[in-house]
Homo-oligomer: A and B are copies of this chain.
């Protein structure tokens, strides 16, 4: 039994558990009250705030606790936008932010503001220059994650902060994935995080707003689950104390997965920056594999992982992160190792994975694609078929056209828009583009080898 989804929620750290228990009897009263129980609660929350501020590298009065990381993002983005409303209503975000940031951006657009979404390279990283270009005289705020939650790529926060600072625009950093590993470098203006990403309790977020940033708070009261706050702060300190050694260990384990998965499993793309990345996250996509089936089979083998494939989400669209990176989304697996993970579990994962992928591929197997030759184009009708079938059918027929010949894949599956170009990239075939068809979309590919 191995839990490899720490980027969603890390198991409760033993120190968080201890701190929670210790503060249950002291931390239930209203810290705003003048009497004994209130004063005791106030002492607890003040100590937690100081500990968290020390870990973040800010002043205690710059830090507040919220009921989740999402709430911290909503409050932080909303508060800076409101505080700088006179300057303008333009917001800059990267295209690979967490959904909480992107939802805040959509809310601004719905309310009449404008948003620039900065693209990323195939590694998942933004360029500081792209933020510089996006800055306008009416830019109220820029947002950038410290590291990506789906592929682990670290962002150039310090460089982007410098560019923003020069333009007088505050930068809000979503540090949800990285705060357990260390402080966020650079001259940022606001920062958000979420305790259950570092092994603290769920339901506690952090919001830091540096003094001097124009900020119009919309919340009337600070979040008040004191035992959870105490546990969050205590576990952040504990996790940090172990972070140096554990980072080295997890980085070695994820490096093993990065290197060996493509050796063990054919037709795999490992995604994300190979060097500038978080210690514990590694993400790869497997051609010709249905993400949901893959997760289900891995769960049966005792591995809990997540996926950015379309087939595993409610929306039937692939992860916006993979889409923005332009990488394959089918058969996607994110392994995010929790601190303290056993090396044997990683080895067993590597031992089990090839058979699991082969099994899923075999089940999806054969249905001979209905193909019709029209002029010099081989047409593959994959209408009504879901990821990864359109790509499987393309792969089956590419050998049936001569080098220089074309294949036209008809598909109404949203994932095909991402996965057919990604397949071409992986296979060295030429992707010619898409065009609307009678039903769905036609994707054109030229055989080049």
Least CB distance from A195 to B in Å reads 10
**Oligomeric state, in copies:** 2
Type the 1/0 row for A67-80, where 1 means its CB is closer than 8 Å to any CB of B. Answer: 11011000000000
Contacts of A165 on B, CB cut-off 8 Å?
none
Residue of B nearest to A314 (CB): B32
Tell which of B9, B24, B28, B303 touches A9, judged by Cβ atoms closer than 8 Å: B28
Asked whether any CB of chain B lies closer than 8 Å to the CB of A449, the reply is no
Residue of B nearest to A107 (CB): B218
Bound state CA distance, A20 and B12, in angstroms? 13
Asked whether any CB of chain B lies closer than 8 Å to the CB of A61, the reply is no
Type the 1/0 row for A187-219, where 1 means its CB is closer than 8 Å to any CB of B. Answer: 000000000100001111000000000000000
Asked whether any CB of chain B lies closer than 8 Å to the CB of A400, the reply is no
Residue of B nearest to A35 (CB): B304
Tell which of B12, B34, B70, B292 touches A221, judged by Cβ atoms closer than 8 Å: B70
Bound state CA distance, A28 and B198, in angstroms? 12
Asked whether any CB of chain B lies closer than 8 Å to the CB of A226, the reply is yes
Asked whether any CB of chain B lies closer than 8 Å to the CB of A224, the reply is yes
Q: Do residues A30 and B17 form an inter-chain contact, with CB atoms below 8 A?
A: no
Asked whether any CB of chain B lies closer than 8 Å to the CB of A247, the reply is no
Asked whether any CB of chain B lies closer than 8 Å to the CB of A280, the reply is no
Asked whether any CB of chain B lies closer than 8 Å to the CB of A116, the reply is no
Given A28-B12, A29-B8, the answer on whether A203 and B67 have CB atoms closer than 8 Å is: yes
Type the 1/0 row for A419-445, where 1 means its CB is closer than 8 Å to any CB of B. Answer: 000000000000000000000000000
Contacts of A227 on B, CB cut-off 8 Å?
201-202
Tell which of B24, B25, B228, B296 touches A203, judged by Cβ atoms closer than 8 Å: B228
Bound state CA distance, A286 and B47, in angstroms? 37
Q: Do residues B295 and A35 form an inter-chain contact, with CB atoms below 8 A?
A: yes
Q: Do residues B203 and A37 form an inter-chain contact, with CB atoms below 8 A?
A: no
Q: Do residues A312 and B34 form an inter-chain contact, with CB atoms below 8 A?
A: yes
Bound state CA distance, A17 and B36, in angstroms? 22
Query: Nearest 8 CB-CB pairs, A to B?
Result: A203-B225, A67-B67, A35-B304, A35-B299, A8-B30, A202-B225, A12-B28, A202-B224
